[in-house]
Structure 1
């Protein structure tokens, strides 16, 4: 079961373009390290129609059973972000690809970056689908209404742990450049699978994300 989930996660990375085929073994070993596994068997399994949420769920359940994490949304999110980082290209590779796409058109570059952010699970598509959205016609125009159901409630244990956590000033905020690759903690979300595109606006350094 564990080996099958690992194989599927690596295949997902290859299918989405996050991971090149030439890095299949390397990526497998990275995931084994995260899962604290010394052994691996290349098992036969169906690699078509891989559902990322299901594969990550299997690996997270295994991590809970092995005592690697507590079984709560906060700890599971921290851990699956670490797993996804095993599939990710280095920031410089993302930046290089972004600007190559930008030479074609800004739309191509933005589309590439948005797809990357979804494939990397930084944007959790399966949670966003739960959001409720509708429009209402008013005298001021059409009003868009959204109920955010994609952000899960924190587990009481995680809330207690965050309250006891040592106050930290790094990263300075949740959108600051230092978040790129940050492992996160109970009171700050993981950003290991996040990539930022450095840009300059009128001589000032900014990050497109």
Structure 2
């Protein structure tokens, strides 16, 4: 254990989590945490990544029966040890603000590096994800098979049988500010090494943090300091624009605020942001239009599987007014020819997925039109991925997927390997869910690299699922219907850009 402690302290200095003068203090705090009262310094210390050192420390403690083998105990130990190296929240905020005065990029670079070095961002687990890009009719999209969720080993499963989870509603949810420094429990993750940076958005108290399981570069979460339900409205658009005004190198977007078309957490008002260019950002313009009441605002519809209105202006106030007009018109919009109904009785179906950014000297606000109505034929959602896509993706199509990053379930890693073997004749059958699709792929396979062939087919399936989510389809009829909606909003004809 001595060598591991020395490695960890040395690496923390290397990562600039602490200064050399802090080494003895940090070492002694770790000794107390592992129940050790003496220390003998080692001559040579190997430099290794912090997650690897923590894993080895945990295994030593489990073997010596000083730490239970449960996942929550391992995560609590790792977070608790790393908290020794992470500055207090007030110091993190002070450093962030000092750097922000130099440049917003310097501030977020510091905070992102801190969140990785502190092991809050689970870099080792994230590295397990399979990632690739694929060409589609809508451009190059990103595909990720999410393998970063930790697996429970048999020791944990056995221990869990005798445990009763602690009943608590503190913190209220995974996004609440009370998670900062929280030790964790069986049904709530360890957050001892977690830090946030307070923000003010439209005179409200918000905060910035990074996702512990980032899906793209600098994947951040922008959260209300008040625990309240997600709501998409003019105020939400204003906050998104305020955020990208403060951090012009980041985008900011929100999941929709209704089930089926929304994200996994609808009970805490929050957005997501980051420093990444998605496929939707690069989508081609199909039509353009203007707003007679906001002459500084221009609009576009995009060649994208979902129905997107991209609004642009150098004036964020005018952009906000135009976006509000679009949103309020969409809330009550019905077009039976496209299966769009705004309400069933008092139940609302229409909402949007909004995304804000700055680009080429202008503010942009993308409004992706969403509808969560279901039917007998499509019980999971008329504008959700349909049944023939579910063997690849059944989960909600949220903000990240809307922009062209497919986040696919871990089960696909082995299942797709079996599909490859079926195509090349190494096995005679595949999982029932993939059988029809695999047979189709086998019939059109002509000897190319089978992994690339299947990866492209998965991407095509995902894009087909996105097309299911589009309320106005990328067909002549669908685009004509989209044009009617735009004309209703703007009271102006649209100009085709094909």
Indicate the residue corresponding to 1:88 in structure 2.
Answer: 86
Structure 1 pair 120/161, CA: closer, same or farther in 2 (3 Å)?
farther
Q: 1:136: how far off? A: 2.8
In the alignment, which residue of structure 1 is the partner of 2:116? Answer: 118
Q: Following the alignment from structure 1 to structure 2, what is the Cα–Cα distance between the partners of residues 30 and 161?
A: 31
Residues in 2 aligned to 1:178 and 1:158: alpha-carbon distance in whole angstroms? 28
Paired with 2:159 and 2:95, the residues of 1 have a C-alpha distance of 37
Secondary structure in structure 2 of the residue aligned to 1:185: coil
Residue 38 of structure 1 aligns with which residue? 37
SS in 2 for 1:41: coil
Larger mean Cα displacement after TM superposition, 187-196 or 138-147 = 138-147
Shift of 1:159: 5.3
TM-score under structure 2 length normalisation: 0.40
Q: Highest CA radius of gyration, 1 or 2?
A: 2
SS at match of 1:50: coil
More off after superposition, 66-75 vs 118-127: 66-75
CA spacing shift, 1:35–1:169, aligned 2, 3 Å: same
Structure 1: where are the runs of 5+ without partners? none
Name the structure 2 match of 1:100. Answer: 98
Spell out, residue by residue over 1:27-78, the C-alpha distance to the aligned partner (whole angstroms, 9 max, x if none): 111101110111111222224x323233212211222133232224332122
Moved over 6 A (4+): none
> Do the aligned partners of 1:184 and 1:191 also contact (CA within 8 Å) in 2?
yes
SS across alignment from 1:121: coil
Report the Cα offset of residue 158 of structure 1.
6.3
On the 8 A contact 2:9/2:26 being kept in 1, the answer is yes
Q: Answer 1 or 2: which has greater helix percent.
A: 1
**Partner of 2:135: helix, strand, or coil?**
strand
Aligned match of 1:143: 141
Matched, 1:156 2:154: no
CA contact (8 A) 1:161 1:186 kept: no
Q: Indicate if the aligned counterparts of 1:199 and 1:206 stay in contact, CA closer than 8 A.
A: yes
Q: Answer yes or no: is 1:170 the counterpart of 2:170.
A: yes
Unaligned runs of 5+ in 2: 210-498
1:186 aligned counterpart, secondary structure: coil
Query: 3-state SS of the aligned residue for 2:190?
Result: coil
Q: Does 1:25 align with 2:14?
A: no
3-state SS, counterpart of residue 126 of structure 1: helix
SS at match of 2:170: coil
More strand per residue: 2
- State the aligned residue count: 206
Instruction: Spell out, residue by residue over 1:121-171, the C-alpha distance to the aligned partner (whole angstroms, 9 max, x if none).
Output: 011212111111122333344332211111112342465467x21321001
Residues 42-81 of structure 1: pairs in structure 2 closer than 5 A = 42-47=41-46, 49-81=47-79
CA spacing shift, 1:161–1:120, aligned 2, 3 Å = farther
Aligned partners of 2:91, 2:158: CA distance in 1, in Å? Answer: 38
